[in-house]
Amino acid sequence: MNKWMHRFFMYLDRYHVQHHALPKLKEAGTAAFKRAVFDAVQADVTGAMLEAVDRDR
């Protein structure tokens, strides 16, 4: 998703973003993913991963 958006907005990223010293599209996309998805599920994911490690031991 981040990659498609990157291709789509390549031109803006190269000129407009540079010019206004805004965060790069890739960084902005990752940050948006973190806010929208990662922060919401992180606690559950960590818990599930620790359970998996526990089973693995």
| Residue numbers at the binding site for another protein (CB under 8 A) | 27, 30-31, 33-34, 38, 42, 45-46, 49-50, 52-57
> Which CB sits closer to another protein, 22 or 45?
45
> Which CB sits closer to another protein, 1 or 11?
1
Closest separation between CB of residue 53 and another protein, Å? 7
21-35: b (≥16 Cβ within 10 Å) or e: eeeebeebbeeeeee
